[in-house]
Structure 1
Amino acid sequence: MTDDEITDRLAALPGWERDRDAITRTFTHTYHECVHLAMYVAAKAREVGHHPDMHITWQRIRFVITTHDAGHRITVKDFELARHIDAIAAGHGATPVAG
């Protein structure tokens, strides 16, 4: 994807930010619920065949998405997975962290 395409897609996904060749978003919840959220996202990732990196710290979970098999570049698959993550996080009552 071109830089302009990535910028346009990010505009349609409030809260997601570009971090070099990945898109990222952080949510906050209790530690236990962050772990629970990670499990639900992992199940969806397995279903769609595209996996984010997940970083869990005290009451925060950060998702980092890049397409590994495209040379660690941002692709349409990353934005599709980001939409799934947003829906799952909303369903779990996770609060987005402002960038």
Structure 2
Amino acid sequence: MAQPLSKNDIQEALGSLKGWEFGDDKIKKEFEFNDFSEALGFIVRVGLEAEKQVHHPELFNVYNTVKIQLSTHDAGDKVTQKDLDLAKAIESVL
């Protein structure tokens, strides 16, 4: 089982993940695109990467905006290295 990270470890790691924030035991970011089509394409690419990592984000979409929240369910819904790894992968699909 993945181990929760300390708040300090999370904050330090977020220094290299532009726009990601920590709150409510999750790391999160909002992405904005030109239109729904671009937002949906992004969601699909994120979904494929999440499947590869066997770690699935919370995704929220309204028209051209996608909000993503990450925490690890089997670690008590806390942030683990798995979340940071997926956040990095999400950044790479942009």
Q: Do they fold alike, i.e. is TM over 0.5? A: yes
Unpaired runs of 5+ residues, structure 2, are: none
CA distance in 2, matches of 1:14, 1:42: 20
| Deviation string, structure 1 residues 6-48 (Cα, Å, up to 9, x no partner) | 1111112121001211000111111111111111111110011
- Letter matched to residue 29 of structure 2: R
CA distance in 2, matches of 1:19, 1:56: 20
2:41 pairs with 1:23: no
Aligned with 1:2 (options 6, 30, 50): 6
Cα RMSD after superposing both structures? 0.8
Instruction: Name the SS for the 1:24 alignment partner.
Output: strand
CA distance in 1, matches of 2:28, 2:84: 10
Percentage of identical aligned residues: 29
Q: Runs of 4+ in structure 1 displaced over 2 angstroms?
A: none
Give TM-score, length-normalised by structure 2: 0.90
CA distance in 1, matches of 2:16, 2:91: 12
